[in-house]
Amino acid sequence: MVVLAVILVALACAVSAQTTSKIVLTNDDGWAVAQIRAQNDALKSAGYNVVLSCPAINKSGTGSSTTNATTLTSPCEFNTCPTGSPPTGFNASDTQLNYVNAFPVDAARFGIQTLAPKFFGSKPDFVVSGPNVGNNLGSTVLISGTVGAASEAALEGIPSAAFSAATGGQVSYTTLTTSPAAADSRAALIYSALTVRFLDVLLASPAPILPTGISLNVNYPSTTNCASASAFKFVLTRINSNSGATDVQTCGTTHLATESSVITKAGCFATVSVFNARTKSDVDAATQAAVLTKLSSILSCSN
Ligand X SMILES: *[C@@H]1O[C@H](CO)[C@@H](O)[C@H](O)[C@H]1NC(C)=O
Q: How distant is the alpha carbon of residue 206 from its chain centre?
A: 19
Task: Report the residue number, 91 or 114, with the smaller CB distance to ligand X.
Answer: 91
**Which one of the spans 59-67, 113-121, 187-195, 241-249 is the region binding ligand X (CB under 6 A)?**
59-67
Stretch that binds ligand X, among 90-98, 158-166, 233-241, 273-281 (CB under 6 A): 90-98
Q: Is 274 left (phi over 0), alpha (psi -120 to 50) or beta?
A: beta
Residue 91, interface with ligand X (CB under 6 A)? yes
- Can residue 170 be called a binding residue for ligand X (CB under 6 A)? yes
Contact status: 93 vs ligand X (CB under 6 A): yes
**Residues 247-276 within binding reach of ligand X (CB under 6 A):** none
- Whether the upstream peptide bond of residue 208 has omega within 30° of 0, thus cis, is yes
> What one-letter code names the amino acid at 251?
C
CA distance 34 to 168: 9
> Does 25 engage in binding with ligand X (CB under 6 A)?
no
The residue within the footprint of ligand X, chosen from 1, 2, 5, 68 (CB under 6 A), is 68
Question: Does residue number 60 form part of the binding site for ligand X (CB under 6 A)?
Answer: yes
Query: Residue 9 region, left (φ>0) first, then alpha (ψ -120 to 50), else beta?
Result: alpha
- For residue 45, state whether it binds ligand X (rule: CB under 6 A): no
Q: How near is the Cβ of 48 to ligand X at its closest, in Å?
A: 17
Q: What is the residue-wise DSSP string for 71-84?
A: --SSPPGGGSS-TT
Cα–Cα distance for residue pair 104/10, rounded to 1 Å: 42
Stretch that binds ligand X, among 58-66, 158-166, 255-263, 290-298 (CB under 6 A): 58-66
Residue 146 contacts residue 28 (beta carbons within 8 Å): yes
Extended beta strands in 101-155, E state: 126-133
In Å, what is the CA distance from 287 to each residue of 85, 104, 246, 271, 292?
44, 26, 12, 17, 9
Pick from 97, 115, 216, 291 the residue near ligand X by CB under 6 A: 97
Is 114 an interacting residue with respect to ligand X (CB under 6 A)?
Answer: no
Residue closer to ligand X by CB (options 79, 225) is: 79
Q: Does 94 bind ligand X (CB under 6 A)?
A: yes
Q: Tell me the window of 40-48, 53-61, 183-191, 265-273 that interacts with ligand X (CB under 6 A).
A: 53-61
Does position 51 interact with ligand X (CB under 6 A)? The reply is no
Residue 60: CB minimum distance to ligand X, A: 4
H/E stretch holding 275 reads strand 269-276
Kindly state the smallest distance separating residue 30's Cβ from ligand X, in Å: 8
Q: Is 71 in the site for ligand X (CB under 6 A)?
A: no
Residue 146 engages ligand X in binding (rule: CB under 6 A): no
Whether 295 and 259 have beta carbons less than 8 Å apart is answered as no
Kindly calculate the radius of gyration of the chain based on its CA atoms and give it in whole angstroms. 19
Binding site for ligand X (CB under 6 A): 32, 58, 60-61, 67-68, 80, 91, 93-94, 97, 170
